[in-house]
Amino acid sequence: MPDLTKVSTDIPERVDNDSRIGHLLGSNLNKEELPKAVIIGFPSDKGVAINGGRTGAADAPEAIREQLYKMTPDPENYNPFVDLIGAIKDVGDLNIRYEVEEDQKNLGQVLAGYLEQGIIPIILGGGHETAFGHFSGYAEAGYKTAIFNLDAHTDVRSLKEGRAHSGSPFRQAIEHESECAEMYLVAGLQPHSVARSHLQYVKESGGDYLLRDETNITSISGFFHQHESDRLMVTFDMDAVDQSQAPGVSAPCANGLPADLWLTVAYLAGRNEQVTSFDLSEVNPRHDRDNQTAKLAALTIWNFLLGLSQR
């Protein structure tokens, strides 16, 4: 089994009646009890470099945790939220070797064990090469799944000189020998950043897409119920959000999705009982402004957890 590195994050000193997520995480678990979900970091941006993007996403898991663990439980859904947080374990970061295919394989081996036990993995990327490592968990376990991606780009590019990268994860998944990718659904696409051939590829593979101006709560809700799979792997690429609200990403978007829509979709994904895993990728702390993007990323995870607590 690939190694994981335990992580520690500074959180505020605990004050009576003001507990934070970092105080409560895993507090209800004993040695014999399985967690309901696990948080795992994938601090790799080698795939971004291969794809010609700006690096820095390898620093994201630490930055996201730092913001997430300072947050409070939801005050209006307090008991279910606290119960869920108490049943979640942060297992640390995967030890990255900076060989994309090897790192993706190792992530898949780790995730497969959790999926087989009915535990929901929450993966903090990393570049969007994270997503194929994420999918590899299903392939390793032999589980078929639909894939939902909220992204400005389709990320179905071909390999570059035989190497996987941050722009190729869903082509890799669709064409994987396991045939575990049952359908690929992608929303939030920027028409000025998507090749016609890539849209055709998505359709010809049996998938579907929504362009940026077609992406709203109604259309997303329909997407979540469009597939016939028993499982839905969800992946969020932070570059789908408008750069005024998410400046610290690998590929900033001048006309991206508003943060409120982004957060609502995260909540809906958490509530959806078919969703069996979640990842958030392409946060780039090196180019962030006052931790604005890291805070939005943490709030994305918070909203996913809120939805999960209401299942």
DSSP code per residue over 57-116:
GGGHHHHHHHHHTTSPPPSTTHHHHHHHHHTEEEEEEE---S-HHHHHHHHHHHHHHHHH
Number of domains in the chain: 1
Please indicate, yes or no, if residue 10 is contained in any of the structural domains: no
Q: Write phi, then psi, for 170 (nearest 5 degrees).
A: -85, -25
User: Is residue 22 included in any domain, yes or no?
Assistant: no
Residue 157 lies in a domain: yes
pLDDT for res 183: 97
209 within domain boundaries = yes
Low-confidence ranges of the chain (pLDDT < 50): none
Residue 62 maps to a domain? yes
Residues 196-212 have pLDDT tens digits of: 999 999 999 999 999 99
Identify the domain containing residue 125 by its residue range.
34-309
Is residue 213 situated within a structural domain? yes
Using the 8-state DSSP alphabet, how is residue 18 labeled? B
- Give the model's pLDDT for residue 34: 96
217-232 tens-digit pLDDT: 999 999 988 888 999 9
Any idea what the CATH number is for the domain that residue 148 is in?
A: 3.40.800.10
The answer to whether residue 12 is domain-embedded is no
- The structure tokens 């932070």 sit at 238
pTM: 0.97
237 within domain boundaries: yes
Q: What integer pLDDT is reported at residue 18 of this predicted model?
A: 87
Q: What is the pLDDT of residue 136?
A: 98
